[in-house]
């Protein structure tokens, strides 16, 4: 398999931070073999193939949002969408999502997100968080390192902290877990997403 492109420079660009997060997920995904697919992940009730399916569905939703098309009535996990080559399926939806995120003006565009009207930058930030969290989940499940840069974890934390109350009440994210005081940004991010990454 081809190696993913080098990570874009991290900074204040939501689209490029989302792209960087997709690359991190992809690097972990390329280490998944068939015997890993039924392994349990830190996401309760999801095995590896269900987790990959979720990420693929999330990426597939990005062009729909930016095109103003309705999302499917349900985003139920369906592992059959991965077909015989999960990496190829993921690559196709990731590239389509990247194209939408990098379209000029996309970050300022008003998008009808499931949580309401939001600028496209919010869609990019949600993809960043989803990709980073699930890159860690996937890496943990198969016993490898996700190698998430601290700067990207800090960007995700900056995005999530103002939504702490919603996160605590959310059925989308696991309940936050307080990490040790001296934790890295990656460990703090995973704690915010309900992962005990310091164990």
pLDDT of residue 74: 57
**Domain extent listing, the chain:** 14-148
pLDDT of residue 175: 81
Tell whether the torsion through CA atoms of 7, 97, 107 and 123 is positive or negative. Answer: negative
The rounded distance, in Å, linking the Cα atoms of 167 and 95 is 29
Cα Rg of the chain, angstroms: 16
Tell me which CATH code domain 14-148 carries: 1.20.120.450
pLDDT of residue 113: 84
pLDDT of residue 75: 60
User: Is the CB of residue 36 less than 8 Å from the CB of residue 48?
Assistant: yes
**H or E segment and range at residue 113:** strand 110-113
Per-residue pLDDT tens, the chain, 199 aa: give them: 334 334 444 457 999 999 999 999 999 999 999 999 999 999 888 999 999 999 999 999 999 999 999 887 656 688 888 999 999 999 999 999 999 999 999 999 999 988 888 999 999 999 999 999 999 999 999 999 999 999 999 999 999 988 877 766 766 677 888 999 999 999 999 999 999 998 7
User: Is the CB of residue 64 less than 8 Å from the CB of residue 70?
Assistant: yes
pLDDT of residue 85: 92
pLDDT of residue 114: 81
Number of C-alpha atoms within 13 angstroms, CB side, residue 110? 2
User: Is the CB of residue 130 less than 8 Å from the CB of residue 57?
Assistant: no
pLDDT of residue 168: 67
User: Is the CB of residue 134 less than 8 Å from the CB of residue 54?
Assistant: yes
- Specify the pTM: 0.90
Tell whether the torsion through CA atoms of 44, 46, 136 and 193 is positive or negative. Answer: negative
């Amino acid at each position: 398999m081809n190696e993913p492109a080098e990570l874009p420079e991290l900074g204040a660009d939501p689209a490029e931070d989302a792209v960087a997060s997709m690359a991190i997920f992809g690097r972990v995904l390329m280490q998944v073999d068939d015997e890993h697919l039924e392994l349990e992940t830190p996401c309760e009730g999801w095995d590896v193939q269900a987790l990959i399916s979720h990420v693929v569905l999330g990426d597939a939703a990005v062009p729909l949002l930016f095109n103003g098309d309705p999302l499917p009535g349900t985003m139920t996990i369906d592992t059959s969408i991965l077909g015989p080559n999960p990496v190829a399926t993921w690559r196709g939806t990731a590239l389509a999502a990247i194209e939408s995120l990098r379209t000029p003006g996309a970050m300022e565009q008003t998008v009808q997100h499931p949580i309401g009207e939001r600028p496209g930058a919010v869609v990019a930030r949600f993809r960043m968080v989803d990709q980073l969290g699930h890159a860690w989940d996937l890496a943990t499940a198969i016993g490898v390192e996700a190698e998430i840069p601290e700067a990207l974890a800090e960007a995700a934390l900056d995005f999530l902290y103002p939504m702490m109350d919603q996160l605590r009440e959310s059925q989308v994210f696991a309940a936050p877990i307080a990490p040790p005081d001296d934790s890295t940004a990656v460990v703090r991010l995973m704690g915010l997403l309900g992962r005990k990454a310091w164990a």
